[in-house]
Amino acid sequence: MFENGQEHSPGFMISDDGGFFWRNLRISLIQIGLGLDDIKILNEGEVIVDRKCDISDYQILTPGSDDVKRCFHGQKDILYSKYVSKICESNIKELPTIVPKSCECTPEDYRWYDS
């Protein structure tokens, strides 16, 4: 594509210095079925979000543990964590209160434990 005698590649022109210099940002939709609704727009380095998060955008976790069977100070399933891939406005305070499940403490719950 040519414009004003210069060749331009398909994509978007972006500036990170208030419009003094512009560079081409090539965008390709590589996932099958990805459409314009799946593209998020950047405005001066910030993502413009088009929706508030809902409960399906979060997972319930137990802190300090990758093992879902693990316990943390006698409880599990303690906090919400938003999935990294979900782009939405966080409203974590509006989510239902988590009622942690009781579980048996592990040696890691005690400060003196040294693995």
Can you give the pTM of this predicted structure? 0.51
Q: Is 57 exposed, middle or buried (0-12, 13-18, 19+ CB in 10 A)?
A: buried
pLDDT of residue 63: 78
pLDDT of residue 48: 59
Tens-of-pLDDT digits for all 115 residues of the chain?
555 566 555 566 666 666 677 777 665 544 445 455 555 555 555 555 678 888 999 988 887 756 656 788 888 888 888 888 887 888 888 899 989 889 887 777 776 655 5
pLDDT of residue 113: 57
Decide: 107 and 113 in contact? Cβ < 8 Å. Answer: yes
pLDDT of residue 6: 60
pLDDT of residue 31: 47
